[in-house]
Structure 1
């Protein structure tokens, strides 16, 4: 059996005396996107921030590229973050930079590509998400859906092998949600990219992920999405019982 691409082991995290994460463990295979759901304050985003090193776990390990990220210094984490993409809920573009400048920034900072090579990649990636011709617009001039697509491009412009999605479809209308889901599938199919997809939207999780972890009272229950409709676990049923039934189109499109 292949070694897991990402290994999370026994994470514990308290905030103000309240245990939010209690012995969380899971593996992520190369090419897999794991869904993650839970109520507000359940620790979904906290797990992502622990993985990328923005928050320190009180206990536990996060193994990526044969090393425990929880033991890394800030300078070591900065080097590793180049290989991890983070898609924020709001796109997280720099307001003072144009779309092109936002996309080019990681390439200028972390590669030796020429200006022509950078512009070529930026234009290719913007075209891929239907944003050609937006190079000189500022984030304030973009729609909500375009901001999120631009955020996806910037998070993946360095071709990371691990992508963390922090509620990227939140606030999108159904059409833009489906477009965003389609783009995530294309990224996954284009290479051996692994990801963790945090969402409040069960339909998006069902459309993208083969497994989902549900956070419930500090613990995580993981189930294959094809087994959700038969699950008797109260946490699984609380999030999916009304959403899985009748969604044959979503299951066929996965």
Structure 2
């Protein structure tokens, strides 16, 4: 397992997808936080802390790009002939997916740290110019930790989906539609049972407000359950679709 993780980390050094998605996400985050800062100056939020939280929590937006990285990294490898043969040569689907998930978690951590850092920096630099006092309270600190956490979870989710959907365009389309359209739309229709969807669980972790969210603890459990279920289904599908060489799947 350690050798698999080392190999995946080495492979990561030669991919541009993570850097491109990270930069794209950071640019999107800065642009949207500029808009939030202007809204804060117009008095959209009743207190300064609420305005700070709006900008800081916006760091969650990088989780879309973290999920896309996980999906592209795995589905792209399965889609290519050489990559598919490399998967078949492994003794265990579970171990290989575990190694890829470990690397994805590392990448997700980087996305989370960048997202939280850029969002907090935007709040510190932009809000004072709008007459809003920037301060890091306990609630703001919790939001920062939550932003980091949801990016890690999103990267793991994308990895599971990439193993389940071995076509890059399909995997990317599913991630984008799920996170940007399907889940937000379903939650607005009915809080129950759609509050148990993966995206809503992430919202509970970084402290999203404005619609019915789960408690923090429930959000963590639900998000992990979705990832575990997707990974289990992916391993089962790969076992039936492919014939591993050299050992049990």
TM-score (normalised: structure 2): 0.26
Structure with a larger share of its residues in helix: 2
TM-score (normalised: structure 1): 0.25
